[in-house]
């Protein structure tokens, strides 16, 4: 945040000196001066009013700050003191969004000031110009202030000017000198004992890290400085906007939406008009990414009106860009919209917003191409393509995308494909640097357009091997990267332990019918803290290259690979058998998704409400229809072979053995062919089996004891011994792990999906710390095999954690399952695996035997289990 203050005399000067260190104490000192009435001189009273106003600014009371600063101007007895008061008034007016009045006030003060006072005024004028979007002029005034400060030996002024210049250059993406300015400012503030100002400068270093794409460093910085703000008990609501920018850069869209809404509420409550306009723009940008076009348009229009009223035309152009993009997303394809988008892109470029300018220009090019204006589209894309050589990784990715679009319009599909591959390579390096699984998964958004374009080129060419290559190039990329373990952080361990306790207390309260609002709030705060701590993981290195058809065929042997691919609104499949790949159209994607959901709904009814003619008919009809759509075009290629299937989107949750073609067949589902290949190559560890049973599930204890007779030498964790720490430690190096416990899948944040153990829930996130993953894991908990699917078919949850760590295979459920009947199925499964059957074949045979001996409920229970990874 930009920073500002100045000087005076006596006790009033002491109040002014205390403003940034102890704003509340500064107000108390100033009030004593003002209480003395006329016995204090005019200049001293003016300085006291000025100290009070600036302290209130630090405490975010802008109306109060303006009131006292106007009194300071009126009370001044000399031109110098009046000019100093006007200078501070201008700063707070800029904060309040009244930038034209602010610029007049500061400019009027300049002629009356010399020496260090003139330096302060120059810095203040830079702040106002900064708010108005006149960045080059602002940088020039900050530089003049630094020169004056060095000449006058004023360390505090130099630190403030460096802090402001560093912040401005960080926002503009200017690397030169930014970190040096901010580091020198923070060090100077610290030497002067100005803890709050030092914290602000360090926070700005976090902004700079985020702007250059170092998300982990930015998060570490923000977390450390946030602790300092809490220690100093000084509110900083405008910093929500910096957090928003970081979330949007990943992008973590849901969190960005929440933070933007919180910023609007808080800044409106505090009357911070300038920051409120930016918060409204933030809400619009987040809504646009979330595809909430009405909110995006409304909030952007409100922000644009406020920016114009404040004289901030640069920001108004930014808000206009969001309105235009929302209109484009609605399907508008008019010449008027094209002209407005191209003009706004030029305005954004000219005023220092290269990122929004780039996005707007690309979408204007797409609009021109859709309108038959190929020449105009190529011209727009060629300008946008210049971004591939500079800027942050997401911006370079967009530049390569623009180049590819230009080449496609010119009929150069091979050149377009090369550009798309270059763009995805940039994205791979960026995602590897993020470290944390969650950040890597969400960052797949940036590759969506590139992968879709490459896939379209391959499909139109009718080239199955190339379609497979493009599908793999973007699919489940997080699992292709070498995992980075979460930090060995005592704060993280403590937060997880506290969350376990709070979650247990919350469940007890809900079951007992007691109020749980406070516990829910505490749970949400702890989850946010754990996410923040986990996101600090430094980046790893290395990305596994997707395999070609030949490599896959060598490993598949007699098995068949079916990789499902979304191509626009169509569902396609690449089938690999005996070294050959073929491409198939499976019909409308929406129809397959609808049938898959209907099938799950029918099976869930059978499991939860019992066997009935209506439930049987519903599940059977959906299963038959989905089976026809997915497998009729492939049937002659499948024969009776074992199958590896790579789903897409919502089809990750299909209970495969519930479909006629898959019943009794060894079927393994994998997030990608690359992940399957890596898992199939992996040799499982040789550690003894581990059997764990959770609480409040009598059948689980019986299941584990009976399994112990099937698996002699197994380590048992039951009753009070089945704790989160004990199980996590036991996973390390185990050849086989079986867990019978209540499970909960969290669609809102899959990494917080849980297995209930003796001391509370075990979170999927915690397993990221296992150094030597088990070979095969069997989870007989409800919904334990469900995954959250992010753009790029990035999966999150227990499945993703275990496969990313290096587990070979996971057998888990994608539906609720009744406890007692499941035990018989699990015993048969383990007997078959112990006899030497591969997991997928053992599961298929156990399911077939289980179904033959039961009713439709048994059939649904068996279908709930899927083999994931490499069975």
Question: Each residue of 335-346: pLDDT tens digit?
Answer: 999 999 999 999
Burial 619-630 (b: 16+ CB within 10 A, else e): bbebbebbbbbb
SS3 738: strand
Q: Which of 491, 680, 612 is nearest to 860 (CA)?
A: 612
180-189, 352-361, 433-442, 758-767: range with lowest mean pLDDT: 433-442
504-555 pLDDT, tens per residue? 888 778 877 888 888 888 888 887 777 777 666 555 545 567 778 888 989 9
**CA 614 – CA 606 distance, rounded (Å):** 9
183-197, 270-284, 362-376, 647-661: range with lowest mean pLDDT: 270-284
pLDDT band (50, 70, 90) for residue 692 = very high
Sequence-ordered list of residues with C-beta below 8 angstroms from that of 145, at least 6 positions apart, any chain: 119, 120, 122, 123, 126, 157, 158, 160, 161
What is the overall mean pLDDT for the chain?
A: 85
Taking a C-beta distance cutoff of 8 angstroms, is the pair 783, 813 a contact? yes
Whether the predicted pLDDT of 786 surpasses 70: no
At residue 5, the pLDDT reads 44
pLDDT band (50, 70, 90) for residue 56 = very high
Taking a C-beta distance cutoff of 8 angstroms, is the pair 217, 362 a contact? no
61-75, 515-529, 541-555, 672-686: range with lowest mean pLDDT: 541-555
What is the average pLDDT across 408-427?
Answer: 93
Tokens of 481: 């990267």
Whether the predicted pLDDT of 227 surpasses 60: yes
What is the average pLDDT across 685-696?
Answer: 89
Tokens of 398: 């967009």
Taking a C-beta distance cutoff of 8 angstroms, is the pair 66, 93 a contact? yes
**CA 29 – CA 35 distance, rounded (Å):** 10
- Using the 8-state DSSP alphabet, how is residue 483 labeled? P
CA atoms in the 13 A half-sphere facing the CB of 239: 21
Angle at 120 between CA 141 and CA 206, to 5 degrees: 70
5-9, 26-30, 246-250: range with lowest mean pLDDT: 5-9
**CA 180 – CA 188 distance, rounded (Å):** 12
At residue 8, the pLDDT reads 37
**CA 230 – CA 218 distance, rounded (Å):** 18
**CA 162 – CA 151 distance, rounded (Å):** 15
What is the average pLDDT across 229-258?
Answer: 79
Q: If phi over 0 gives left and psi between -120 and 50 gives alpha, with beta otherwise, what is residue 743?
A: beta
**CA 755 – CA 823 distance, rounded (Å):** 17
96-110, 143-157, 315-329, 628-642: range with lowest mean pLDDT: 96-110
Per the model's pLDDT, the better-predicted residue between 9 and 520 turns out to be 520
Between strands 580-588 and 570-577, the pairing is antiparallel
Taken as a whole, the chain contains a residue count of 871
**CA 775 – CA 686 distance, rounded (Å):** 8
Which helix (H) or strand (E) segment holds residue 372: the answer is none
- Token pair 């919180």 in the structure block, residue: 262
pLDDT band (50, 70, 90) for residue 445 = low
Q: If phi over 0 gives left and psi between -120 and 50 gives alpha, with beta otherwise, what is residue 437?
A: alpha
Which helix (H) or strand (E) segment holds residue 867: the answer is strand 865-869
Whether the predicted pLDDT of 266 surpasses 60: yes
At residue 591, the pLDDT reads 97
**Alpha carbon 682 to chain centroid distance?**
31
pLDDT band (50, 70, 90) for residue 842 = very high
Burial class of 188 by CB neighbour count within 10 A (0 to 12, 13 to 18, 19+)? buried
Taking a C-beta distance cutoff of 8 angstroms, is the pair 724, 762 a contact? yes
Taking a C-beta distance cutoff of 8 angstroms, is the pair 46, 82 a contact? yes
At residue 434, the pLDDT reads 58
At residue 142, the pLDDT reads 94
**CA 209 – CA 216 distance, rounded (Å):** 9
Angle at 498 between CA 493 and CA 502, to 5 degrees: 150
What is the average pLDDT across 594-612?
Answer: 84
Establish whether the linkage from the previous residue to 683 is cis, with ω within 30° of 0: no
**CA 218 – CA 236 distance, rounded (Å):** 17
pLDDT band (50, 70, 90) for residue 629 = very high
Residue-by-residue DSSP string for 259-289: HHHHHHHHHHHHT-HHHHHHHHHHHHHHHHH
Tokens of 41: 């001189």
CA atoms in the 13 A half-sphere facing the CB of 392: 24
Whether the predicted pLDDT of 635 surpasses 60: yes
- Using the 8-state DSSP alphabet, how is residue 726 labeled? H
Q: What is the CA radius of gyration of the chain?
A: 31
**CA 136 – CA 129 distance, rounded (Å):** 9
Taking a C-beta distance cutoff of 8 angstroms, is the pair 740, 780 a contact? yes
At residue 446, the pLDDT reads 66
**CA 605 – CA 620 distance, rounded (Å):** 12
SS3 content of the chain, % helix, strand, coil (to 5): 65, 10, 25
**CA 732 – CA 395 distance, rounded (Å):** 40
At residue 860, the pLDDT reads 83
The CA dihedral of 494, 496, 499, 503, to the nearest 10 degrees, is -140
Taking a C-beta distance cutoff of 8 angstroms, is the pair 248, 285 a contact? yes
Taking a C-beta distance cutoff of 8 angstroms, is the pair 364, 342 a contact? yes
What is the average pLDDT across 606-635?
Answer: 86
Taking a C-beta distance cutoff of 8 angstroms, is the pair 561, 575 a contact? yes
At residue 484, the pLDDT reads 46
Long-range contacts of 266-272 (CB under 8 A, 24+ apart): 266/237, 266/240, 267/237, 267/238, 270/60, 270/61, 270/62, 270/237, 271/62, 271/63, 271/96, 272/60, 272/62, 272/95, 272/96, 272/237, 272/238
In terms of average pLDDT, the best of 206-215, 742-751, 843-852 is 843-852
**Alpha carbon 758 to chain centroid distance?**
32
**CA 24 – CA 3 distance, rounded (Å):** 17
- Using the 8-state DSSP alphabet, how is residue 664 labeled? T
146-160, 446-460, 483-497: range with lowest mean pLDDT: 483-497
**CA 75 – CA 687 distance, rounded (Å):** 82
CA atoms in the 13 A half-sphere facing the CB of 542: 5
At residue 283, the pLDDT reads 95
352-362 pLDDT, tens per residue? 788 889 999 99
Taking a C-beta distance cutoff of 8 angstroms, is the pair 754, 503 a contact? yes
Between strands 715-717 and 743-744, the pairing is unpaired
């Amino acid at each position: 945040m930009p920073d500002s203050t100045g000087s005076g005399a006596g006790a009033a000067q002491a109040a002014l000196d205390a403003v940034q260190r102890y704003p509340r104490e500064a107000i108390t000192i100033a009030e004593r001066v003002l209480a003395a009435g006329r016995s204090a001189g005019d200049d001293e009273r003016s300085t006291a009013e000025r100290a009070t106003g600036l302290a209130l600014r630090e405490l975010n009371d802008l109306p109060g700050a303006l009131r006292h600063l106007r009194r300071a101007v009126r009370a001044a007895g000399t031109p110098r003191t009046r000019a100093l008061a006007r200078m501070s008034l201008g700063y707070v007016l800029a904060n309040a969004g009244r930038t034209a009045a602010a610029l007049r006030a500061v400019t009027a003060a300049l002629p009356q000031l010399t020496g260090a006072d003139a330096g302060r005024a120059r810095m203040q004028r830079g702040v106002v110009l900064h708010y108005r979007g006149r960045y080059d002029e602002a940088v020039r005034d900050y530089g003049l202030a630094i020169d004056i400060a060095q000449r006058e030996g004023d360390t505090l002024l130099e630190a403030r000017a460096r802090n402001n210049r560093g912040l401005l250059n960080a926002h503009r993406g200017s690397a030169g000198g930014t970190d040096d300015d901010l580091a020198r400012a923070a060090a100077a503030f610290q030497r002067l004992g100005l803890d709050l100002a030092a914290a602000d400068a360090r926070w700005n270093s976090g902004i700079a890290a985020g702007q250059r794409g170092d998300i982990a460093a930015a998060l570490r910085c923000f977390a450390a400085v946030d602790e300092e703000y809490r220690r100093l008990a000084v509110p900083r609501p405008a910093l929500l906007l910096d957090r928003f920018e970081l979330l949007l850069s990943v992008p973590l869209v849901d969190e960005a939406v929440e933070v933007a809404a919180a910023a609007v509420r808080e800044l409106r409550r505090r009357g911070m008009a300038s920051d409120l306009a930016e918060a409204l723009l933030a809400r619009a940008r987040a809504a646009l990414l979330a595809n909430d076009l009405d909110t995006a348009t409304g909030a952007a229009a409100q922000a644009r009106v406020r920016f114009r009223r404040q004289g901030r035309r640069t920001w108004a152009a930014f808000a206009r860009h969001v309105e235009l993009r929302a209109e484009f997303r609605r399907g508008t394809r008019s010449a008027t919209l094209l002209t407005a988008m191209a003009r706004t892109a030029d305005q954004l470029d000219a005023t220092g917003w290269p990122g929004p300018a780039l996005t707007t220009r690309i979408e204007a090019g797409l609009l021109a191409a859709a309108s038959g204006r190929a020449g105009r589209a190529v011209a727009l894309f060629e300008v946008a393509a210049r971004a591939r050589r500079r800027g942050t990784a997401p911006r370079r990715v967009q530049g390569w995308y623009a180049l590819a679009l230009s080449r496609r319009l010119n009929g150069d599909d091979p050149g377009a494909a090369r550009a798309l591959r270059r763009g995805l390579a940039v994205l791979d390096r960026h995602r590897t640097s993020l470290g944390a699984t969650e950040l890597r998964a969400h960052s797949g958004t940036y590759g969506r357009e590139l992968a879709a374009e490459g896939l379209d080129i391959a499909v139109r060419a009718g080239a199955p091997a190339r379609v497979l290559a493009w599908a793999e190039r973007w699919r489940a990329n997080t699992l292709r990267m070498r995992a980075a373990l979460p930090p060995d952080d005592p704060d993280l361990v403590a937060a997880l332990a506290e969350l376990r306790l709070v979650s247990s207390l919350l469940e007890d309260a809900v079951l007992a019918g007691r109020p749980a609002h406070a516990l829910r709030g505490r749970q949400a705060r702890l989850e946010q803290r754990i996410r923040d701590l986990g996101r600090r993981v430094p980046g790893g290195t290395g990305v596994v290259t997707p395999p070609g058809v030949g490599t896959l065929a060598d490993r598949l042997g007699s098995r068949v690979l079916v990789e499902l691919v979304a191509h626009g609104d169509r569902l396609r499949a690449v089938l690999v058998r005996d070294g050959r790949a073929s491409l198939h159209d499976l019909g409308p994607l929406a129809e397959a998704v609808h049938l898959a959901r209907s099938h799950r709904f029918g099976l869930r009814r059978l499991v939860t409400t019992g066997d009935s003619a209506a439930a049987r008919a519903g599940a059977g009809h959906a299963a038959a229809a989905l089976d026809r759509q997915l497998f009729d075009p492939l049937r002659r290629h499948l024969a009776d072979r074992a199958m590896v299937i790579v789903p897409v989107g919502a089809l990750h949750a299909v209970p495969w053995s519930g479909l006629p073609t898959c019943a009794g067949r060894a079927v393994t589902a994998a997030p990608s062919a690359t992940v399957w290949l890596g898992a199939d190559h992996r040799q499982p560890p040789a550690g003894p089996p581990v059997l764990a049973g959770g609480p409040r599930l009598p059948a689980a204890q019986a299941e584990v004891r009976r399994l112990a007779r099937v698996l002699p030498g197994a380590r048992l964790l039951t009753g009070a011994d089945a704790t989160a720490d004990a199980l996590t430690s036991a996973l390390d190096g185990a050849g086989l792990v079986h867990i019978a416990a209540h499970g909960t899948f969290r669609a809102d944040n899959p990494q917080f999906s849980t297995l209930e153990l003796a001391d509370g829930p075990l979170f999927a996130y915690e397993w990221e710390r296992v150094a030597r993953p088990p070979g095969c894991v069997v989870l007989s908990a409800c919904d334990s095999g469900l995954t959250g699917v992010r753009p790029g078919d990035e999966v999150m949850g227990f499945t993703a954690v275990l496969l990313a760590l290096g587990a070979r295979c996971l057998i888990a459920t994608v539906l609720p399952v009744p406890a007692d009947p499941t035990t018989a199925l699990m015993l048969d499964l383990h007997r078959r695996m112990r006899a030497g059957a591969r997991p997928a074949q053992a599961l298929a045979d156990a399911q077939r035997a289980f179904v033959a001996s039961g009713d439709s409920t048994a059939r649904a229970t068996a279908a709930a289990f899927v083999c994931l990874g490499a069975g």
